[in-house]
Amino acid sequence: MGAIYTGSGYWSVGWWILFAALALAMTIYFRSLGRGDYKVGTEQEEFFNAGHPVPEDPREYRFPAASTYWGFTRALSRYYDFLFAFHTGFLQDYVALTAGVLALFGVLALLV
Amino acid sequence: MRLDEHLPALLLALPLLGAFSAPLVGKGSRRWVELLLPVLSGLTFAVAAALLHRVSVGGTQLYVMGAERAGLALPSGMSLPIRIVLEVDALSALMAASGSLVAFACALFAVPYMRRFSGFDKFASLYFLLVAGMLGMEVTGDLFNFFVFLEIASVASYGLVAFWRDRPEAIEAGLKYTVVSTVAALMVLFAAGFLYGNHGVLNMAAIASRVDLGVADKVAMALLFGSLAMKAGAVPMHMWLPDAYGEAPSCVSALLVSVSQASLYGLFRTSFSLFGLPRVAPLLGWGLVVLGLLSMFVGVTMAIVQKEIKRLMAYHAISQTGYMLLGVGVGLVASLSPARMESFGLVAIGGALYHVINHAMYKGLLFLTAGAVYYSAGTRMLDQMGGLARNMPKTASLFALAAAAIAGLPPVNGFTSKLLIYQSSYALSPFLAAVGMITSVLTLASFVKIFQSAFLGPALPELSEVREVPAPMLAGMALLALAIAGLSLLPGPVLEHMVMPAARALADRGAYIAAVMGGGM
């Protein structure tokens, strides 16, 4: 009932849920094995915050959306500079782009 | 008189009745309009569901306005249809059922959501007009009527995007959408004029039977293709979309997703049913593929850097539209060879149409959860949110479900449709599938960002008074969540009974023409 064929593959939601449950059970089992090394009152109890100091007051422990994926956008800064320049917000640019694509497609259509 | 014969007309009559009665009912009490909006929206969905069932059992349904019999397209002695014809095949019926379900869910959500603002009768009137325009575009068999319904939907959405007129940003978004959308609608009108001038007919099946791909036909094809791609939000003509979706009330943003899909439906009809001849199929097919790739990648990379929740989701709407364009484009390219069509073309179209339905549900739900957050927390800026899952656990759970769906995490429905698109587009070119998968990974990253920023972490002192939203808003969201659950857990029956018949209806140009030009029932 929950299975479909894609032509070159197979997807069964029932089997997937079964395997996911199995994987979850294995994860819980392996995690329970690791708890034997847990030592109360040592540095193992401290939060790890990607190398950054953890604030004393938990309410200050935030990761603002503006900082998320900073490295990703920094690495692609040239691509993003182009994208931001492209998205001017000016209405005449919106209309010009639409007209440009229409014209391009019109020329291509006349050529075939 | 058998009522089920008149379902196509009833599908349009109900929202039109709502549009014209809402201002009158509103003269009495706002409560009557609050009752009218969900009740008529629910009835419209019931009619759409009944129509889908009728089409799946009895095949394409014709409804000829003013004819002796509802299905009589060609009275004796006539070689061309002259009346207004509604042609509802498996694709039209599926789109109408999906759109009207989203409209019903959004109507439930809108009642308490809009209670803080005046002018609810005007809101309801515009809302019903938007629904009527959307459904009309999906069931009409007449190109001029398609333009009329496109305009009805567009004009209603201008008002709804700028409904919160105390916000200058909303006015600006409404103005931009008005101008750009009017340009597109004008192009559709020009295309209808070119085709009418060339063939003397406006019925789409009749035009398709007479298309000779002369200069006038090609100009009309280019105008329809470009303008409908713009209305669907394809890159690089997508700029209006983040403004419009971002500034509209959330219940409207969720519905606008389905309204844009009505333009996408028009684009697919244009590409397959109207002009899908072997001479231009490669141009149209690769055109869809290129627009799809651009939309997927540009949409998702712009989304990931957004800091405002609804703008982020709006860019994702562009990105997800890319998957649909890619799937149908691959199918159109494959249609040149019967073997390729059988091997992967139909699967690609099926995957794309499955994604259309999935996207309507999960993006609708995402916009509603964004509205719930705005309703309770009073902000749309992610940097001003945090820890909302503590006080809004139901909204957080519904958001997590929809986010998993859009990211394509198994076993949720987005995975199923993406899998079909990946595997079929891989058969045409591995590059296409690779772009799709990268887009999916970045989509997951975007929604992890929202979930982490808005719902996780410690509760912010300024948001300590935040509470869960009222029950009707939760009911609207739960309805879409139920649809997502059904589409996730029953992919086999959905694909067999709803999606693949729609894919075959789109691919079979001859059947679309024959339903009308054969004379009807």
A62 to chain B: closest CA residue: B457
pLDDT score for B304:
94
Distance CA B331, CA B340 (A): 9
Q: What is the residue-level pLDDT of chain B in tens, covering all 521 positions?
A: 678 889 999 999 999 999 999 999 999 889 999 999 999 999 999 999 999 999 999 999 999 988 878 777 777 777 788 888 999 999 999 999 999 999 999 999 999 999 988 899 999 999 999 999 999 999 999 999 999 999 999 999 999 999 988 889 999 999 999 999 999 999 999 999 999 999 999 999 999 999 999 999 999 999 999 999 999 999 999 999 999 999 999 999 999 999 999 999 999 999 999 998 889 999 999 999 999 999 999 999 999 999 999 999 999 999 999 999 999 999 999 999 999 999 899 999 999 999 999 999 999 999 999 999 999 999 999 989 988 999 999 999 999 999 999 999 989 999 999 999 999 999 999 999 999 999 999 999 999 999 999 999 888 888 888 999 999 999 999 999 999 999 999 999 999 999 999 999 999 999 999 988 875 54
For the question of whether the overall pTM of this predicted structure is more than 0.90, the answer is: yes
Does residue B484 sit within a domain? yes
* Chain A contact probe: residue of B171, B186, B213, B218 with most A CBs at under 10 A: B218
Whether the Cβ atoms of residue B463 and residue B392 lie closer than 8 Å to each other: no
Distance CA B232, CA B238 (A): 8
Residues linked to residue B86 through DSSP beta bridges, in sequence order: B63, B140
Distance CA B347, CA B54 (A): 24
Residue linked to tokens 């229409």 = A102
Does residue B131 sit within a domain? no
* Chain B contact probe: residue of A91, A92, A111 with most B CBs at under 10 A: A91
Question: β-strand B85-88 against A3-5: which pairing, if any?
Answer: unpaired
Evaluate the CA torsion angle A7, A8, A13, A18 in order and state its sign.
positive
Distance from the Cα of B259 to chain A's closest Cα (Å) equals 19
Distance CA A42, CA B490 (A): 50
Distance from the Cα of B92 to chain A's closest Cα (Å) equals 23
Name the residue type at position A78: R
CB contact under 8 A, A11 and B240: no
Question: β-strand B61-64 against B85-88: which pairing, if any?
Answer: antiparallel
**A30-44, A77-91, B85-99, range with the lowest pLDDT:** A30-44
B416 to chain A: closest CA residue: A11
Distance CA B445, CA B76 (A): 61
Residue linked to tokens 């808005």 = B454
Distance CA B105, CA B250 (A): 12
Whether the Cβ atoms of residue B105 and residue B368 lie closer than 8 Å to each other: yes
Q: Tokens at residue A56, please? A: 């004393």
Distance CA A108, CA A98 (A): 15
Residues linked to residue A4 through DSSP beta bridges, in sequence order: A11
Whether the Cβ atoms of residue B453 and residue A65 lie closer than 8 Å to each other: yes
Residue among B185, B212, B188 at smallest CA distance from B198: B212
Distance CA B336, CA B339 (A): 9
Distance CA B3, CA B46 (A): 13
Position A6 confidence tier, pLDDT thresholds 50, 70, 90: confident
Give the list of residues 6+ apart from residue B352 with CB closer than 8 angstroms, or none. Answer: B323, B324, B325, B326, B327, B328, B331, B417, B421
* H-helix or E-strand spanning residue B86: strand B85-88
A-chain CB neighbours of B450 within 8 Å are 65
Number of residues written out for chain B: 521
Position A43 confidence tier, pLDDT thresholds 50, 70, 90: confident
Distance CA B96, CA B507 (A): 19
Does residue B88 sit within a domain? no
Helix (H, G, I), strand (E, B) or coil at B88: strand
Q: Tokens at residue B309, please? A: 């929740």
A-chain CB neighbours of B183 within 8 Å are 95, 98-99
Helix (H, G, I), strand (E, B) or coil at B335: coil
- Give the 3-state secondary structure of chain A: CCEEECCCCEEEHHHHHHHHHHHHHHHHHHHHHHHHHCCCCCHHHCCCECCECCCCCHHHCCCCHHHCCHHHHHHCHHHHHHHHHHCCCCHHHHHHHHHHHHHHHHHHHHHC
Does residue B286 sit within a domain? yes
Residue linked to tokens 């004379």 = B519
Angle at B332 between CA A108 and CA B206, to 5 degrees: 80
Residue linked to tokens 């329809």 = B224
CA distances from B387 to B4, B392, B450 (A): 50, 9, 11
Distance CA B469, CA B375 (A): 7
Name the residue type at position B221: M
Q: Tokens at residue B251, please? A: 């219940």
Does residue B399 sit within a domain? yes
**Helices (H), ranges, B7-118:** 7-28, 30-58, 90-113
Distance from the Cα of B350 to chain A's closest Cα (Å) equals 10
CB contact under 8 A, B183 and A95: yes
Does residue B358 sit within a domain? yes
Position A52 confidence tier, pLDDT thresholds 50, 70, 90: low
B-chain CB neighbours of A108 within 8 Å are 222, 283, 287
Helix (H, G, I), strand (E, B) or coil at B458: coil
pLDDT score for B81:
82
Give the list of residues 6+ apart from residue B381 with CB closer than 8 angstroms, or none. Answer: B307, B308, B309
**What is the C-alpha end-to-end distance of chain B, expressed in Å?**
16
**Higher per-residue pLDDT: A71 or B296:** B296
Whether the Cβ atoms of residue B308 and residue B454 lie closer than 8 Å to each other: no
Closest partner residue to A94 (CB to CB) among B240, B302, B344 is B240
Q: Exposure string (b/e) for B271-281, b if CB count within 10 Å is 16 or more?
A: bbbbbbeeebb
CB contact under 8 A, A102 and B223: yes
Distance from the Cα of A27 to chain B's closest Cα (Å) equals 18
Q: Could you write out the DSSP letters of every residue in B401-418?
A: HHHHHHHT-TTSHHHHHH
Name the residue type at position B283: L
Helix (H, G, I), strand (E, B) or coil at B249: coil
pLDDT score for B521:
45
pLDDT score for B347:
94
Whether the Cβ atoms of residue B73 and residue B64 lie closer than 8 Å to each other: yes
* Total count of domains within chain B: 1
Under 8 Å CB pairs connecting chains A and B tally to 157
Does residue B204 sit within a domain? no
Distance from the Cα of A64 to chain B's closest Cα (Å) equals 5
Does residue B333 sit within a domain? yes
Task: Check whether the bond before B236 is cis (ω within 30° of 0).
Answer: yes
Whether the Cβ atoms of residue A101 and residue B239 lie closer than 8 Å to each other: no
Q: Look up the domain containing B335 and give its range.
A: 279-489
Distance from chain centroid for Cα B133: 12
Residues linked to residue A10 through DSSP beta bridges, in sequence order: A5
Residue linked to tokens 């009346």 = B83
DSSP code of residue B62 = E
* Chain B contact probe: residue of A11, A77, A80, A82 with most B CBs at under 10 A: A11
DSSP code of residue B378 = S
